[in-house]
């Protein structure tokens, strides 16, 4: 059998019309030579042909299937012949179909790109589903593509969004090797005593709290971060330094802002066991009275998973403010902008709605229509 110059065994993308013609010619010769005998040595012949062409045996069968066309002779009788051009057209047109879909949905792709780039925290999945579920009028009449197809375009550099534009895509971490820690004394009321109704996240008003610091010592500012478990609404409140006094003072500022509604909005707060929450008893009691304004719980030592949603949003802050940054040098407008981006992020767990929208709806239910968002005042 004559051969054609080819590289190592591949699938189909390296084959051109010359290869298809070679395959069809060799099979046609074999069929004519063995016209009176049925399939004698044909399987071995096709195996040798696949090696010669540099593809798989199954691909040879697929090519022959696509090359089969029906023609009518001069006697108006139909019979099948092999056409290299027919096989090539069928298989290459199929390969171009994805590009055709991309061109057809160009307007939708540009819309998604603009939305994702407008908010550094927006993912492609969240943006697409938010448009489909909550803004159908915006994409009415536009051909669309699914999330999986869009991510394929990103990986193949077919759109303007690159993996580096999607922080989560390039920051995937491998499984950690957990360390062994010495048991630590726990403060206050343990999370294990927290009512099961809070764990279900069906009731509004239960928060998770933590501190995001600049340098490790926390003497150059920090953010007291609070996250409402049901709506995922997030507060990042700047304090001058990492101390229990400043945490307590910030909680008091929140109390003054929301007034009598504070106890309905902050029914409970779950902290970690850091020293900055040492004044938890003062946090629980309304200043100047003996009336309880909230309930404080503490997660298990070395179990950040007890406040997983809060830790997740703390990680989002790090996209904008790197570790070691002096928090006291961050402007109020930048802090507000970061907080806005996190609360306006469309979340899958919230039905592709932003946390801010759901938080305000919950406030309306308890008749809080003024002084709704603390950091915007």
More confident residue, 74 or 153: 153
Residue 177: pLDDT band with limits 50, 70, 90: low
Residue 6: pLDDT band with limits 50, 70, 90: very low
User: CA–CA distance from 302 to each of 180, 183, 251, 306, 324 (Å)?
Assistant: 10, 9, 24, 9, 22
User: d(Cα 67, Cα 209) in Å, to the nearest integer?
Assistant: 67
User: d(Cα 60, Cα 63) in Å, to the nearest integer?
Assistant: 5
Query: Is pLDDT above 80 for 288?
Result: yes
State the pLDDT at residue 187: 77
Q: β-strands 268-271, 206-213: how paired? A: parallel
More confident residue, 176 or 103: 103
SS3 196: helix
pLDDT digits (tens, 9 = 90+) for 92-142: 765 455 567 888 999 999 999 999 988 888 899 999 999 999 999 999 999
Q: Give me the mean pLDDT over the 142-158 stretch.
A: 91
User: d(Cα 168, Cα 120) in Å, to the nearest integer?
Assistant: 10
* Residues paired with 238 in a beta bridge: 223
Query: Is pLDDT above 90 for 1?
Result: no
Q: Give me the mean pLDDT over the 6-28 stretch.
A: 75
State the pLDDT at residue 136: 94
User: d(Cα 349, Cα 347) in Å, to the nearest integer?
Assistant: 5
More confident residue, 37 or 336: 336
- Sheet containing 222-228, strands listed edge to edge, beginning at the edge strand earlier in sequence: 189-190, 295-298, 268-271, 206-213, 222-228, 234-239
Beta strands in 29-187 (DSSP E): 68-72, 78-82
Best CA proximity match to 115, nearest among 126, 104, 106 = 126
Q: Give me the mean pLDDT over the 74-103 stretch.
A: 77
In sequence order, the 6+-apart residues with CB closer than 8 A to the CB of 82 are 24, 27, 28, 64, 67, 68, 69
SS3 210: strand
More confident residue, 151 or 164: 151
State the pLDDT at residue 359: 97
pLDDT digits (tens, 9 = 90+) for 185-237: 667 899 999 998 898 899 999 999 999 998 877 788 999 999 999 999 999 99
State the pLDDT at residue 9: 45
State the pLDDT at residue 36: 67
Query: Is pLDDT above 80 for 332?
Result: yes
pTM: 0.72
More confident residue, 35 or 311: 311
State the pLDDT at residue 8: 40
State the pLDDT at residue 37: 64
């Amino acid at each position: 059998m004559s051969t054609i110059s080819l590289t190592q065994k591949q699938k189909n993308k390296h084959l051109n019309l010359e290869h298809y013609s070679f395959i069809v010619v060799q099979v046609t010769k074999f069929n004519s030579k063995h016209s009176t005998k049925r399939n004698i040595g044909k399987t071995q012949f096709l195996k040798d042909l696949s090696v010669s062409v540099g593809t798989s045996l199954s691909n040879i069968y697929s090519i022959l299937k696509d090359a089969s066309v029906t023609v009518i002779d001069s006697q108006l009788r139909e019979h099948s012949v092999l056409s290299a051009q027919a096989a090539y057209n069928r298989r290459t047109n199929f390969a171009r179909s994805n590009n055709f879909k991309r061109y057809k949905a160009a307007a939708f792709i540009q819309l998604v790109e603009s939305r994702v780039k407008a908010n550094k925290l927006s993912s492609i999945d969240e943006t697409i589903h938010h448009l489909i579920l909550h803004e159908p009028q915006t994409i009415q009449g536009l051909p669309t593509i699914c999330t999986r197809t869009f991510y394929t375009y990103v990986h193949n550099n077919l759109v303007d969004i690159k993996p580096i534009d999607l922080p989560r895509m390039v920051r995937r971490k491998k499984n950690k090797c957990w360390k062994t820690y010495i048991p630590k004394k726990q403060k206050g009321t343990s999370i294990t005593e927290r009512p099961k109704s809070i764990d279900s996240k069906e009731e509004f008003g239960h928060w998770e709290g933590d501190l995001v610091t600049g340098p490790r010592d926390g003497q150059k500012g920090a953010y007291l971060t609070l996250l409402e478990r049901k709506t995922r609404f997030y507060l990042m409140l700047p304090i001058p330094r990492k101390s229990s006094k400043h945490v307590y003072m910030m909680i008091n500022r929140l109390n003054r802002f929301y007034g009598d509604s504070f106890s309905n909005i902050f029914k409970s707060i779950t902290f970690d066991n850091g020293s900055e929450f040492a004044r938890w008893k003062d946090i629980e009691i309304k200043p100047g009275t003996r009336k309880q304004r909230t309930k404080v719980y503490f997660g298990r030592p070395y179990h950040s998973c007890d406040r997983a949603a809060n830790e997740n949003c703390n990680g989002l802050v790090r996209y904008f403010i790197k570790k070691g940054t002096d928090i006291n040098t961050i402007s109020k407008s930048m802090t507000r902008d970061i907080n806005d981006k996190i609360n306006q992020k469309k979340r899958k767990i919230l039905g592709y709605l932003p946390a801010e929208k759901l938080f305000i709806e919950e406030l309306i239910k308890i008749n809080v229509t003024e002084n709704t968002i603390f950091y915007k005042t």
